[in-house]
Amino acid sequence: MKVFIKLWICPILFLLSANIFSQQTITGQVIDESGGSLSAVTIVNMATDKKTYSNSQGMFSIDASPNDELRFVKEDFRRVSKTVLTDGINSQLLITLFQIPKDIGEVKIVKKLSGDLEQDSRIVAKIDKGEQVRNAVGLPQPVGKMREKPAEVKSVLLPILLGNLNVQGLYDLISGKAKKQKRQYRYDDLQEHILWVRNRVEDDYFVKAGIPAARISEFIEFSFVAKPQVRTYVKARNLAGVLLRLEETIPLFLQRLQQDKK
């Protein structure tokens, strides 16, 4: 068994060291279809889960290894993915994001917030017509998510001790597939939770609090980290609780904005 483990550990250590030394810093600029610079674009390295944001000139830099996928995300724009270092070296990237067309709805008169969170959550909440229809006709809600479960170390290695070899699970661990799946699921869940808040709270609520419209999604993500209970309330579908915790993180985020300007 010791010989078997050593045979697997050596190739894994070799691959890890090769990946570290092959990393390079990727730089570039993000623009819109008219050629204007786009700031506050989220750039995520899908292979390492590292992220950064474009500055006021649309410039960015991020570490990447050959064939890593960079994903560019900004509210109201179609997201773009780019595989980098496919030929070993990349010149500065120029990424163009195209805006998603929007229909201008009817103008609504927004009531002033009273300070009562239960009442205010109804004022700033958007109407989810799809949810209204499902509730009206009694459609069942989906339970869980239909996606492949990533291989776990204990569920693969322990059976080996009993003489049962899970070939697919072992391959998923060694190849890094299981790790990539977990990273992708975390990213997908994060975007889903951010979208849940965006779909239920008017942008004007955040803007009036001093948060730029282009950085609302960034603020919500920041709130998830600064106050984990925000995300707990999102999972519980408790909008009043979400607003309560967001009120606590707004001053922290505004302070961060002021530091970025220095």
**What pLDDT digit, counting tens, does each position of 57-100 carry?**
999 999 998 889 999 999 889 989 999 988 766 778 999 999 98
Instruction: Please write the tens of the pLDDT for every residue from 204-249.
Output: 999 998 999 999 999 999 999 999 999 999 999 999 889 988 989 9
- Confidence (pLDDT) at 253: 92
CB neighbours (10 Å) of residue 185?
A: 15
Mean pLDDT of 100-107: 60
Mean pLDDT of 136-163: 60
Distance CA 46, CA 80 (A): 12
- Confidence (pLDDT) at 234: 93
- Confidence (pLDDT) at 221: 94
- Confidence (pLDDT) at 123: 55
- Confidence (pLDDT) at 109: 43
pLDDT band at 138 (very low <50, low <70, confident <90, very high): very low
Residue labelled with tokens 């209204």: 132
Can you say how many angstroms the Cα of residue 1 is from the centroid of all Cα atoms in its chain? 40
Q: What interhelical angle do 177-198 and 167-175 show, nearest 10? A: 70
CB neighbours (10 Å) of residue 17?
A: 10
- Confidence (pLDDT) at 145: 61
Instruction: Provide the pairing of β-strand 24-32 with 93-97.
Output: parallel
- Confidence (pLDDT) at 29: 94
- Confidence (pLDDT) at 137: 42
Quick one: three-class SS letters along the chain?
CHHHHHHHHHHHHHHHHHHHHCCEEEEEEEEECCCCECCCCEEEECCCCCEEECCCCCEEEEEECCCCEEEEECCCECCEEEECCCCCCCCCEEEEECECCCCCCCCCCCCCCCCCHHHHHHHHECCCHHHHHHHHHCCCCCCCCCCCCCCCHHHHHHHHHCCCCCHHHHHHHHHCHHHHHHHHHHHHHHHHHHHHHHCCECHHHHHHCCCCHHHHHHHHHHHHHHCHHHHHHHHCCCHHHHHHHHHHHHHHHHHHHHHHHC
- Confidence (pLDDT) at 136: 46
pTM: predicted TM-score of the whole model, two decimal places: 0.46
Domain boundaries 22-97, corresponding CATH code: 2.60.40.1120
Domain ranges for the chain, please list them.
22-97, 117-128+199-261
CA proximity to 58, closest of 84, 93, 90, 89: 93
User: Two tokens at 12?
Assistant: 């894994």
pLDDT band at 110 (very low <50, low <70, confident <90, very high): very low
pLDDT band at 33 (very low <50, low <70, confident <90, very high): very high
Distances (CA, A) of 237 to 141, 193, 213: 13, 10, 23
Distance CA 27, CA 43 (A): 11
- Confidence (pLDDT) at 139: 45
For the chain, the average pLDDT equals 77
- When mean pLDDT is compared across 4-18, 47-61, 144-158, 217-231, the lowest value belongs to 4-18
State yes or no: pLDDT of 126 exceeds 80.
no
Distances (CA, A) of 243 to 22, 41, 110, 261: 44, 25, 17, 27
